[in-house]
Structure 1
Amino acid sequence: MTANSSTRLLKLALPLVSQHGFTRAALARSVLHLPTPHPEPLSDTAVSALFGRGDLARKTLLRAWLDGGVESMHSRPPGGGVSVKDALHARLAYNEPVLAHLPEAFALLAAPESGIPPIDPIPALKHAARIADEACYAAGDQSLRLSWYTRRASLIGIYSAAELHQLTSPQTAHSFLDSLLSTSAKIESSVEDVKLFSSYIFRSWAGIIRSKDVL
């Protein structure tokens, strides 16, 4: 199959994540949803050839899902533009169908390529930073110089806290996000070191992952 075929199958695999998780099985079953479905799922050899061996295939699926989350943040409500608040709520909503699988997905992101702990905190920070950047971009935020860093640093902390809250209390995640955004000015004024957020995200992700016995 071609690279275009891989991309097409990845898109078909995304709706399967809610049932099958970020697994090679979800990728294998993608061919069952082609306009002319295959009679059986892809073989393990075919999945490796198209998406990577072992957990590399799972990471390929996870990255495609994360890209879809970014796209979801740019959806415009009827008759209006997108605010930072709209974008962050849209991204939380994107998580909802796959919440049961997110701790494992976070563990997959945090695991080094060798597959051996310790957990790497950098992907967690990049994940939150990308969402903060996209929320500002979707809303047309033109913050400059120091305000650029403080605005995004506060949004990294806000979204990370809301997403982690969502894993344990999905019913209150959106109201929790609203409460954090309502105090964002106070948060921004206290941000002096982005490492504070990096440390917070790492500790929180690690706690969620370990509490779920993923690693």
Structure 2
Amino acid sequence: MSSTTRNALLKLALPLIKDHGFTRSALSLAVMYSPSGKHTAPLNDTAVDALFGEGDEARRTLMNAWLDDARVSLRKSYSQDSDTATTARNPSLGNVLKTRLSKNEGVLEHLPEAFALLATPPTLSSLIFPLTLDPRPAISHSMSVAAEACKLSCDTSVGATWYTRRATIGAIYTAAELHQLYSPTTAHDFLDRLLEESQTLGMAVDETFIYAKYIVDAWKGIITSRGITP
């Protein structure tokens, strides 16, 4: 199948995550929701491997597709051309981050396992370093949300301040996302409190390695809080 077909199936799989999680089953079932109506049976394992990657790599593909979709959806929420725009031309940073948190609500129960999957090193690395988590997906996710939020809220920081600002916002968002898994109904209030204290938090994450450790430790908290072993 072509990359166009692959992308179409990934899009069809996204609504299935709520009930099936970030699983190969969600990917397998997606073909049955094709507008063509030609498929009456799920994809077999061989087809899922060929399209999305072998074993857990297929699940990582689905998780990354969901993260990309959440980012695009956030942007559309504040687009001037969108019929579903949620706010005025210059939304506050807090409102943008809350909107991004809302994108998690339908799949909250599945996120800890998905984060654990993304943070798990490749098979060979995990055999050599079984307790090591790969920090790159956590940092990439955090920085992606921070960059999008700054852009949508018209943040004008430049130079070194640009990096510090995004590091701070990324750390705040990650902490709020962790809190959301424990207490969904208080996540927005928690985010507001962190934003109010952002000057102090910004000093704490001013150095890149400190910021990276904060994000990775937060993801470890997300993973271990649900008793999940990557």
TM-score when normalising by structure 1? 0.93
Judge which range, 183-192 or 146-155, deviates more: 183-192
- The one of 123, 136, 150 aligned to 1:122: 136
**1:79, 1:161 → 2: CA distance?**
27
- The one of 134, 139, 145 aligned to 2:148: 134
Give the 3-state SS of the residue equivalent to 1:73 in structure 2.
Answer: helix
Deviations 1:116-142 (A, max 9, x none): 232112211111111111111222222
In structure 1, list runs of 5 or more residues that go unmatched: none
**2:163, 2:40 → 1: CA distance?**
52
CA-based RMSD: 1.6
Evaluate the alpha carbon distance shift between residue 78 and residue 164 of structure 1 in structure 2; reply closer, same or farther with a 3 A threshold. closer
Evaluate the alpha carbon distance shift between residue 89 and residue 50 of structure 1 in structure 2; reply closer, same or farther with a 3 A threshold. same
- The one of 104, 108, 131 aligned to 1:99: 108
Deviations 1:37-63 (A, max 9, x none): 311111111111111111111111111
Evaluate the alpha carbon distance shift between residue 19 and residue 161 of structure 1 in structure 2; reply closer, same or farther with a 3 A threshold. same
The equivalent of 1:32 in structure 2 is: 32
**1:147, 1:122 → 2: CA distance?**
22
The equivalent of 2:47 in structure 1 is: 46
Give the share of equivalent positions with the same residue, in percent. 49
Conserved 8 A contact 1:159-1:177: yes
In structure 2, list runs of 5 or more residues that go unmatched: 79-85
**Which residues of 2 match residues 1-215 of structure 1 at below 5 A?**
1-37=1-37, 38-74=39-75, 75-76=77-78, 77-114=86-123, 116=126, 117=130, 118-215=132-229
**1:98, 1:87 → 2: CA distance?**
19
Deviations 1:141-164 (A, max 9, x none): 221112102211110110010001
Paired residues, number: 215
TM-score when normalising by structure 2? 0.87
Give the 3-state SS of the residue equivalent to 1:214 in structure 2.
Answer: coil
Conserved 8 A contact 1:158-1:180: yes
**2:87, 2:226 → 1: CA distance?**
39
- Which amino acid letter does the alignment assign opposite residue 91 of structure 1? R
**2:88, 2:167 → 1: CA distance?**
30
Aligned-pair distance for 1:189? 4.5
